Structures are given as C-alpha cells and as structure tokens.
Amino acid sequence: MVEYRADPAAVAAFLPPGVEPAPDPGAAAAIFAHWHWRSESEEEADDPERNQFNEFLILLACTAEGRPMARCPYAWVDGAIPMARGWIQGMPKQFGAVHLTHPKAVGRTGPHLVTGGVFHGIASQYGARIVKAGVTLGGRAAEPPALHTVPLVHTRHFPAWVPSDKPMSQLVASEVVDVEFGEIWEGEASLHFADDLPGDLASLAPVQVGGGFVFSYAETLCHGKALSRVRQSRDRAEVVAS
C-alpha cells in the first residue's frame, strides 16, 4: 500500500451526494493485495485457483455521517467471483491482471520482511498498463496506515433493463469484524500511473507520493449498512471543524 496525494478537485468529483471531502481532502492510497477468502459453504476450500485472488484498488479519504471513511473509485481483481462480490457490496471492481511480490522466508531473491526488502505491485487491463508501485522497507510502523482502518462507503448500483424502470442506487458502508493486522512495515515508496489512462482515472494520478506499507490483514465482511444520502453540509462542517 502506498499513501499519496491526489488533486482534491479530482477526488471531490468522485464523491456522491451524502459523502463529503475529508479534512485532508487529497489523501489517497494505492493498494495491492493478495486475498484468501472462505465462503460459508466452504465449497471452494480445496481450490486455490478459486479461493485466492489479487486486487489493486484506489482509496480516497472522505467523510460520511460525520466520520472519516474511504471511497473506492476504481478497483481491479483477477477473478470473477471477487468481482461479482464487489459489485454486491458496491465496489466498482473491474477485471484486470494484478501481480504483487510475495515475501520470502529464505534466499537471495524474493524479499524478506526485513529492512531493505523491496516489494512491487503492477496492474494492467486489456493488455495496457495501469499502475506500478514499489516499497522499500525501512522499519516497523507503530500503526496501520489511516486509510486502511476506516469504513468504506460504496454505492451499490444495478442498472435498469426494462425502459420504465429506474436503476438501483444505494449508498452503503461495509461492516467488518475480526479485523487483524500482522507486522506492519513501512518505507519509501514509488507510484506511477501509466500515461494513456482514461480521463477520470488519470485525474487521480499522484501529485505527491507518501510512504509505503507492507503488512498482513484479515477481516470478516458481514454486510452493508445503508447510509442516508441527505447532504448535511453545515453539520458536517461543524463536525469536521471540531
């Protein structure tokens, strides 16, 4: 995960009614993750082709219901099940090729989780590069990066197909429990967006690159909580100012 700053105006353009800019309005993160998931039926439990996937996503700091949250404007995964699961939650997941370095316990090549270890992430879609990122571990961090500890606020969207119908659109926050962090390492980071990205994705390219983090993380994703879309600008401003 690489913390970075995007253009605050570009970030604001991705926030729907009911979601406001954060006090620090350009804060963003680029996250590469390798996930192992388990359903209640466990029918995928013996198939590592199905129960593991890679993800790259962007998070934008924002405020909703008076609390710090994060908005995901773009995400790519390399499996169809996590893509569909994301849509049900309201994450705008697309299908892409995502690869990230796995830490190694021995040897001279794969990075170890020690000072100096170098980790990379790379993502592409339809044969065109989207992003490259790198982190060189400097040492242990006391806290996880801020954008990885706040709820995500998503818009569940399902288009209409019968002409007289309206699309479904529902603002929700994901509720998670059993959150666990492993060792958290931080260090210097690089983050490069490709040159020929579509316009609104290009608008989120870094204007400043912050620190990088490498860590293990686990959660149980329970369900969504509906958020009001009523814009409470004045109340929000007061909360933000407190």
Asked if 136 is part of the footprint of a second copy (rule: CB under 8 A), the reply reads no
Nearest approach, Cβ of residue 66 and a second copy (Å): 20
> Contact letters (x/-) for a second copy, 141-170, by CB under 8 A?
---------------x-xx-xxx-x--x-x
Nearest approach, Cβ of residue 8 and a second copy (Å): 28
- Exactly one of 8, 21, 121, 151 binds a second copy (CB under 8 A); that residue is 121
Q: CB-wise, 46 or 142, nearer to a second copy?
A: 46
Task: Tell whether the torsion through CA atoms of 124, 71, 103 and 115 is positive or negative.
Answer: positive
Nearest approach, Cβ of residue 27 and a second copy (Å): 25
Segment 64-68 long-range contacts (CB within 8 Å, at least 24 positions apart) = 64/18, 64/19, 64/20, 64/153, 64/171, 64/173, 64/227, 65/173, 65/227, 65/228, 66/232, 66/235, 66/236, 66/239, 67/150, 67/151, 68/22, 68/146, 68/150
- Exactly one of 40, 108, 166, 242 binds a second copy (CB under 8 A); that residue is 108
Nearest approach, Cβ of residue 75 and a second copy (Å): 12
Judge contact between 195 and 130, C-beta under 8 A.
no
Asked if 195 is part of the footprint of a second copy (rule: CB under 8 A), the reply reads yes
**Stretch of 5-13, 108-116, 136-144, 232-240 contacting a second copy, by CB under 8 A:** 108-116
Burial 133-168 (b: 16+ CB within 10 A, else e): bbbbbeeebeebbebbebbbbbbbeeeeeeeeeeee
Q: Binders of a second copy among 72-101, rule CB under 8 A?
A: 79-80, 83-84, 87-90, 94-95, 97, 99-101
- Exactly one of 40, 223, 241, 242 binds a second copy (CB under 8 A); that residue is 223
Distance CA 11, CA 2 (A): 17
